Amino acid sequence: MTLETLTFAKALNAGLRQAMADDPRVLMMGEDIGRLGGVFRITEGLLAEFGEQRVLDTPLAESGIVGTAIGLAMNGFRPVVEIQFDGFVFPAFDQITTQLAKLTNRHEGALSLPVVIRIPYGGHIGAIEHHQESPEAYFTHTPGLRVVSPSTPNDAYWMIQDAIRSNDPVIFMEPKSRYWPKGEVDRSERPAPLHASRIVRRGTDVTLVGHGAMVTTLLQAAALAEAEGTSCEVVDLRSLSPVDYGPIIDSVSATGRMVYAQEAPQFTSLGSEIAATVAERAFYSLEAPVLRVSGFDVPFPPAKLEGAFLPDADRVLEAVDRALAY
């Protein structure tokens, strides 16, 4: 086992480079991804290494970008599209939900659409409107799409490669606040399948579940809870659609309590669906209602107010206390 320390962004870059080296059908498309290397420099150096035929700077036209990617996939390529910021995906929403998600079913499985759409999402970067959103529920609600979100550099390295190898469309949600922290990456061994959830901290009293950047917040909350005598188990969802419920149900069956945390607003969210499913499948194990911690049901606020909008460890701990009070 050979470990190296990389930022989340560098791990993604390494994963994209490896995927392109492994398969000449893989190509990158997006605004400013070539010469600039992308706003977050995720594609930095790929143009110089693989050339303009495989790393394409596109016009600022998200619908056209995704539509072109669909056509390329229908002709044997494996395009990887970068949406520059989360709020910019909506001009491409029609292409994604009415074409990309439906064409394989429309062709009764005879046509594969191996398109990956990378979306930097979430808050904690002090950005302006349309640059800090959590639109994952729109896509998890759409049959025909796979949706994943890594939380560590190691998962970023492996999951982007697995997403590119998938013959189904994959919405690849990248928690942009995690681009800069470093972590260990093991290029010799895949940590888990693409659509597997995973227990990242063992505990006995309360199960904490989340995805993307929220996993770090849950781990912080678990460490603080331990100092107060409460043992929290943390589950990293990793795959948002399909959801691997096995580790979640096993954990809740043991602890009897669960808190789900997300940056997105709560109403009709991914957390709502998971809470309902856990209540159905683990009803007789639950000692308290499944609780949710989330952003508020308002548009993402200006940068000065994002700290009040986004869940932090204190809000998670407050939910843990409420779960234990039942």
Tens-digit pLDDT profile for residues 62-86 = 999 999 999 999 999 999 999 999 8
Task: Look at residue 240 and give its three-state secondary structure.
Answer: strand
What's the pLDDT score for residue 232? 98
pLDDT at 2 over 80: no
Give 305's DSSP letter.
G
What is the DSSP code string of 152-216? SHHHHHHHHHHHHH-SS-EEEEEEGGGSSSEEEEETTS--S-TT--EEEE--SSEEEEE-TTHHH
CA 73/CA 95 separation, integer angstroms: 14
Q: Are 308 and 301 in contact (CB under 8 A)?
A: yes
Q: Worst-scoring range by mean pLDDT, 129-138, 220-229, 277-286?
A: 129-138
pLDDT at 307 over 80: yes
The torsion angle over the Cα atoms of residues 220, 223, 226 and 227, rounded to 10 degrees, is -100
Domains, the chain, ranges and CATH?
3-186 (3.40.50.970), 198-325 (3.40.50.920)
- Which tens digit of pLDDT belongs to each residue from 146-189? 999 999 999 999 999 999 999 999 999 999 999 999 999 999 99
In the chain, the largest separation of any two C-alpha atoms, in whole Å, equals 60
What's the pLDDT score for residue 302? 87
- 131 as an active site residue: the answer is yes
Q: Are 76 and 25 in contact (CB under 8 A)?
A: yes
- Where helices occur in 230-305 by DSSP H, the ranges are 246-255, 270-281
Mean pLDDT, all residues of the chain: 96
Of these residues, 107, 124, 130, 131, which one is catalytic? 131
- Which tens digit of pLDDT belongs to each residue from 230-280? 999 999 999 999 999 999 999 999 999 999 999 999 999 999 999 999 999
Q: Worst-scoring range by mean pLDDT, 16-20, 129-133, 263-267, 312-316?
A: 129-133
Mean pLDDT confidence for 107-121: 96
Task: Look at residue 119 and give its three-state secondary structure.
Answer: strand
Angle at 311 between CA 309 and CA 315, to 5 degrees: 115
Task: Look at residue 259 and give its three-state secondary structure.
Answer: strand
Task: Look at residue 107 and give its three-state secondary structure.
Answer: coil
- Where helices occur in the chain by DSSP H, the ranges are 8-22, 46-50, 62-74, 93-94, 103-106, 136-140, 153-165, 214-227, 246-255, 270-281, 306-309, 313-325
- What radius of gyration do the chain's Cα atoms show? 19
